[in-house]
Amino acid sequence: MAKKKRRSSAAGPSGAEKQEQRQKRLEEKRAARAEVLVRQRKQERRERFVRLMFVGLLAVGAIWFFFLRTKAPTEIGGHELLASSQSGEGVHTDDPVQYDTVPPVAGPHAPGAAPCGLFAEQLPNENLVHTLEHGAVGLLFRPDLDVEQIRALEDIVGEFETHVFSSPFAEMDSPITIVAWGFRMPLDEIDEPAIKEFIDEFREKGPEEQPCPSDSDDPFPEPDAGDTPNVDVTIPPTDEETPAPGGKKGTPAPDES
């Protein structure tokens, strides 16, 4: 005689319970989809904000570049300001350089910069340019300039403890030329207000700002002193400006002694 199948003591879920479970799973799926949508919308808002910020910064930069940035003047006190190429920043060489302007105001230059202050002798072009690169302003004059005007130029230099120097420069066409990195202002005679405005415009604004204390105190000699300007001033490079291979500034050369 066949045995009857024993019924499971645990009854399965009722139809109502199954419906409730299905409803719960649907709600969980809807909640998950809603959470994904919320995250997507937040991400889209962040991306839109970043795009707007980027466009805004571009607009501000364009406005500054075309309308608000400080541009170098084309004249000072009615005197024409001559702008030159400003290439040669940081390029050092021990060889003589053929410069595009007289006096030179930019380009490759000697490893050693001249100090600031008063000079009785003409600075070598290559050292003069390096000093301009450090943000110095030079008051250059022809040696045949009236000594009273030379003294007036030296008095102006004396008002500044750094980054201004005076020096004779025999090859200039103009009696006086005020120079900074990339700029020249020729003068037929001394114009103190214009010179000081030039100094305010360019002093300590070179491409490679370095200290330039007025350590040189060698005024131009009086006409009857019998001295003539000498262009063979030698200015050795400082340790921190020893040229690296290729002519550019590098680290100090090792001591091989």
- In order along its 257 residues, the chain shows pLDDT tens digits of 555 555 545 556 677 777 878 888 888 888 888 787 878 888 888 888 778 777 777 766 555 445 444 567 889 999 999 999 888 999 999 999 999 999 999 999 999 999 999 999 999 999 999 999 999 999 999 999 999 999 999 999 999 999 999 999 999 999 999 999 999 999 999 999 999 999 999 999 999 989 999 999 999 998 765 555 454 555 655 544 433 333 334 333 334 43
pLDDT at 85: 86
Query: Using CA atoms, how far apart are residues 47 and 184, in angstroms rounded to an integer?
Result: 49
pLDDT at 252: 38
Q: Residue 103, preceding bond cis, omega within 30 degrees?
A: yes
* 147 closest CA partner among 41, 60, 219, 43: 219
- What pairs with residue 164 in β-bridges? 137
pLDDT at 226: 52
Token readout for 25 is 């799973």
pLDDT at 175: 98
Query: Using CA atoms, how far apart are residues 185 and 82, in angstroms rounded to an integer?
Result: 6
Query: Using CA atoms, how far apart are residues 136 and 209, in angstroms rounded to an integer?
Result: 9
Query: Using CA atoms, how far apart are residues 101 and 80, in angstroms rounded to an integer?
Result: 15
3-state secondary structure of 117: strand
pTM: 0.64
Q: How many helices and strands, by DSSP H and E, does the chain display?
A: 4, 9
Token readout for 105 is 């105001």
3-state secondary structure of 46: helix
3-state secondary structure of 168: strand
pLDDT at 195: 98
